[in-house]
Chain A
Amino acid sequence: MSDLSLAKTPAPRLAPPLLGMLWRDKLAFTSALVLLLIVAAALFGPMLLGEMASDQNLRGRNFPPFSLDRGWAFFLGGDSLGRPMLARLIVAAHSTMLIAAGTVAAAMLIGATLGLVAGYLGRNVSQVIMRLADVIMSFPSLLLAVVVLYVLGASIPNMILVLALTRIPIYLRTTRAEVLEVRERMFVQAAVVMGASHARIIFRHILPVVAPTLVTIATLDFAFVMLAESSLSFLGIGVQPPDITWGLMVAQGRPYLTTAWWLAFWPGLLIVITALSLNLLSNWMRIALDPNLRWRLEARSTANG
Chain B
Amino acid sequence: MTKLIGQRAIASLLSLFGLMILVFFLSRLTGDPAVLFLPIDATEQMKQEFRALHGLDLPVIEQFWRYIVDLAQLDFGDSLRKARPALDIVLEAYAWTLPLALITMGLVIVAAIVLGSLAAFNVGGFFDRLVSIISLIGASAPDFWIAIVAIVIFSIGLGWVPTSGVGTPLHWVLPIAVLFIRPFGLVVQVVRGSMLSALSAPYVKTARAKGVKNLPLIFVHTLRNGMLPVVTVIGDQAAAMLNGAVIVETIFGFPGIGKLMIDSILQRDFNVVLAAIMITAIAIFLMNILIDIAYSVLDPRIRH
Residues of A near any B CB (own CB < 8 A): 131, 134-135, 138-140, 142-144, 146-147, 150-151, 223, 227, 230-231, 234-235, 237, 247, 250-251, 254, 257-258, 261, 264-265, 268-269, 271-272, 275-276, 278-280, 283
Contacts and interface: CB of A to CB of B under 8 A. Distances in A.
B26 to A, nearest CB: 5
A271 B142 CA distance: 7
Interface in B132-178: 136-137, 139-145, 148-149, 151-152, 156
Given A150-B30, A230-B142, A264 B136 contact: no
A142 B31 contact: no
8 contacts: A135-B22, A140-B23, A150-B30, A257-B152, A271-B142, A272-B137, A272-B141, A275-B142
Contacts of B250: 235
B148 A146 contact: no
A151 B253 CA distance: 29
Given A138-B281, A264-B148, A272 B140 contact: yes
Contact of A275 (B22, B141, B156): B141
A100 to B, nearest CB: 13
Nearest to A277: B140
B29 A275 contact: no
A257 B144 contact: no
Given A247-B142, A261-B152, A147 B26 contact: yes
B18 interface: yes
Which of A140, A227, A237, A276 has the largest number of chain B CB atoms within 10 A?
A: A140
B161 to A, nearest CB: 15
B238 interface: no
Given A254-B148, A265-B149, A146 B19 contact: no
B247 interface: yes
B247 A268 contact: no
A272 B145 contact: yes
Contact of B30 (A135, A140, A147, A257): A147
B37 to A, nearest CB: 16
A58 to B, nearest CB: 25
B22 A139 contact: yes
B291 interface: no
B261 A279 contact: no
B15 interface: yes
The DSSP consensus for interface residues of chain A is helix
Contacts of A143: 23, 26-27, 265, 273, 277
B247 A231 contact: yes
B22 A235 contact: no
B246 to A, nearest CB: 6
A258 B155 CA distance: 11
Contacts of B148: 250, 254, 257, 264, 268
A275 B31 CA distance: 36
B145 A146 contact: no
A292 to B, nearest CB: 13
A26 B117 CA distance: 25
Contacts of A283: 136
B287 interface: no
B142 A231 contact: yes
Which of B15, B145, B243, B247 has the largest number of chain A CB atoms within 10 A?
A: B145
B30 A142 contact: no
Contacts of A272: 137, 140-142, 145
B144 A142 contact: no
B144 A138 contact: no
A269 B148 CA distance: 12
Given A135-B18, A230-B144, A146 B136 contact: no
A142 B27 CA distance: 11
B262 interface: yes
Contacts of A257: 148, 151-152, 156
A254 B152 CA distance: 10
Contacts of B18: 135
- Nearest 5 CB-CB pairings of A with B: A268-B145, A275-B140, A276-B140, A150-B30, A234-B144
Contact of A227 (B16, B26, B142, B156): B142
A146 B144 contact: no
Given A135-B15, A231-B247, A151 B265 contact: no
Contacts of A279: 136, 139-140
B266 interface: yes
Contacts of A223: 140
Contacts of A138: 15-16, 19, 281, 284
Contacts of A235: 246-247, 250, 262
Contacts of A275: 139-142
A140 to B, nearest CB: 6
